Every structure is written in C-alpha cells, then in structure tokens.
Amino acid sequence: MDNELNGHEAHESQDTHEASNRRNFLRLGLSSGLGIGLGAAATMGLMAEGDSKGSAGSKVKLMSPDGKIVEVDSDQIVDIPRSVELVVREGVPNRKFVMVIDLSRCKNARKCKNACSKMHYLPPERSYIKVEKMQDAEKTAPYWMPTPCFHCDNPPCVKVCPVDATFKTSDGIVSIDNTRCIGCRFCMVACPYSARIFNWGTELYALNDEQKEAIKPHESCSPHLRGTVEKCDFCPNHTRHDKLPDCVKACPNGVFYFGDELDDTVSNGDETLRLSKLLKDKSAYRYLEDLGTKPRVYYLPPVNRLFPFVDPNEHPEKEHHE
C-alpha cells in the first residue's frame, strides 16, 4: 500500500458506501422537490419551528429546498440513519491534540502547503493551509502567518451544520463526514477564520482504487466529494498512530509543533518541548481568541525572527523556498 496511506485500517468499500449514503439520497430529494419525502426534507437542514418529533397530528413548519416555509404533519417526519457509525466519531482515546505555530520561524517556504496537498490529494487550486502576509501596525515589520483549521473547542462551524456532518471528536479534532455533507456551506459562513473550502468540481481526485478504499471519508476530506465542504483535518491517519501531521514534518524551519495537551508535550520533528512552558515562555496567543471559539492552535509571536521578511510579489528574485 502507498506509504501515504499507511495506518488506514481496512474498512468498507467506498463504492458500496457511496451507493447507500444519505447524500446521494438527498440529491434525489433536491431534484424532485419537497414531494420526494418529508424524511429527506427534515434531514436537509430545513429549519423547523416546533418539535420535529411532536405527537402525531401536530404541525411543524419547515423550509423547503427552494426557500419556502411549508407546514407538514409531524408524524410524516422520519429520522434518516446515520451514514457513519457513531463510534468512529469518538476520536483517539486519551488524546487532546494541539498545534503551536512559531511565527518567528516562518519564511513562507510553503512546504507545509505542498505536503498537505499531497497527503490529501488536493488539486492545485485548493489548499487547506493558507500562509498570509500580516502586519500588525503601520510601523511594525510584516511577517508570515500559516493558518490551518484551528480545531476550535467551541466551534461555530459545528453548531450551524444542519445535518450533523461536521463534528468534534474527543481528541480535539473537528472533522467532516463528507458523505453526510449536503453542501449548504453554513459552516463556511460561520467559521470566522475562513478555514473551510468548498469542492466545486473535483471528485475522487487522483486516487486509485486501493487508495479510495484505504481512506476513511468520515475523518478525512479524502476522497473528495463534489459539492461538499473540506478543510484541514490534522492528518488523522498519522495522529491516530502517534505520528506528526505532514505539514509539521515537511516544514524545513520547524515552524509547526504538534502534540498532546494531556501529555503536555509538542514536537516539530526536531525537538520535543513542554507545551505549557513553551506557551508561557513565548507569550503564546490564539488568533481572535476573544471570539470565544477556543482554537486548539496557538501562535508564538514573530519576535526575534530567524529570517528577514521577503515578499515574493515585491522581490521575486529574493524568494527563498527553504
């Protein structure tokens, strides 16, 4: 098996899974209008007023796929079985994954983005990690800031998902079950960090049959499903086996530290540090933490920087990649 996929456990066939998944069912519902079945309507995230499981004969109001409010009998609404067993949503036991990004070390080498895209079979036009040029004030020096998903402990993206397709696991990771996602994009609007991207067109990108079968779609955005939302997943195929995510391993400058809050340790592959001491000694902060999202990604301020800032747009001849 491809090394990229080592650690994936044997599981159900993707074809079988897709044939029966609720997302395909919902597609049918969308193309046929509300009349296809109120069960579909209830699980498409239609906003309901009142108890959707009220007593027989009572009425509830739902928003139809074309945005109209309709009134239906509550006993017409049925639950659709989950496409994923609940147990897979529990996460790695006794782990609380955390990431620390040292802004003083980043020189926009973009190795993290490339490794991430390779690991997730992403086409060139999509990336789960952004590296932004930042400048805190007019007279302060600019710096580079990588931004993955922050796997917030109070994630607004999870709260707004109408079909429970995105969820928080016990190990701290915010995951997406793409077979359940209906592509409403509420989560993209709710995320204050723009960490999520939408797959407008590429399905099962560049995967051979063995790779498709080896990937668990409910805890990784691969294989990609057209019309669904994707984002950084902290490489669950690695973290499940106490290995570092690919962005951490690929960075030549040791920018990313990853580890376990319960062990109080993080590593960038070269050095392993005490998490609490690192955060305290370097005055770590979390991006826009006053929003109350409680990100699981910490930043170390860009002080005593290791590299001069070079903007490839202004000085293309000085651009360095390592």
- 295 prior amide bond cis, ω within 30: no
Which of 38, 63, 149, 215 is in the footprint of ligand SF4 by CB under 6 A? 149
For the bound state, the minimum distance from the C-beta of residue 108 to ligand SF4, rounded and expressed in Å, comes to 21
For the bound state, the minimum distance from the C-beta of residue 230 to ligand SF4, rounded and expressed in Å, comes to 10
Which of 97, 128, 150, 167 is in the footprint of ligand SF4 by CB under 6 A? 150
Q: Which stretch binds ligand SF4 (CB under 6 A): 8-16, 188-196, 208-216, 239-247?
A: 188-196
Determine the 3-state secondary structure of 61 from DSSP: strand
Task: Quote the tokens at residue 77.
Answer: 């609404």
Helices (H), the chain: 14-20, 22-32, 38-43, 111-119, 156-160, 186-190, 209-214, 236-239, 246-250, 275-281
Distance of CA 157 to the CA centre of its chain: 10
Per CB under 6 A, contacts with ligand SF4 among 5-44 are none
Interacting residues of 162 by C-beta distance below 8 A, sequence separation 6+: 44, 45, 46, 47, 182, 184, 186
Q: Which stretch binds ligand SF4 (CB under 6 A): 38-46, 92-100, 147-155, 257-265?
A: 147-155
By CB under 6 A, residue 235 contacts ligand SF4: no
For the bound state, the minimum distance from the C-beta of residue 149 to ligand SF4, rounded and expressed in Å, comes to 4
Residue 40: φ, ψ to 5°: -65, -40
For the bound state, the minimum distance from the C-beta of residue 173 to ligand SF4, rounded and expressed in Å, comes to 9
Distance of CA 67 to the CA centre of its chain: 28
Which of 40, 63, 122, 152 is in the footprint of ligand SF4 by CB under 6 A? 152
By CB under 6 A, residue 191 contacts ligand SF4: yes
Write the interaction track for ligand SF4 spanning residues 73-112; mark x where CB under 6 A is met and - where it is not.
----------------------------------------
Binding residues for ligand SF4, rule CB under 6 A, total 14
Which of 84, 129, 195, 215 is in the footprint of ligand SF4 by CB under 6 A? 195
Per CB under 6 A, contacts with ligand SF4 among 278-297 are 293
Task: Quote the tokens at residue 134.
Answer: 């930042």
For the bound state, the minimum distance from the C-beta of residue 118 to ligand SF4, rounded and expressed in Å, comes to 21
**CA 296/CA 153 separation, integer angstroms:** 7
Q: Is 225 exposed, middle or buried (0-12, 13-18, 19+ CB in 10 A)?
A: buried
Q: Which of 192, 157, 189, 190 is nearest to 176 (CA)?
A: 157
DSSP of 282-302? TT-B-TTGGGS---SEEEE--
Which of 196, 224, 238, 282 is in the footprint of ligand SF4 by CB under 6 A? 196
For the bound state, the minimum distance from the C-beta of residue 156 to ligand SF4, rounded and expressed in Å, comes to 5
Judged by the rule CB under 6 A, the positions of this chain that interact with ligand SF4 are 149-152, 155-157, 174, 191, 193, 195-196, 231, 293
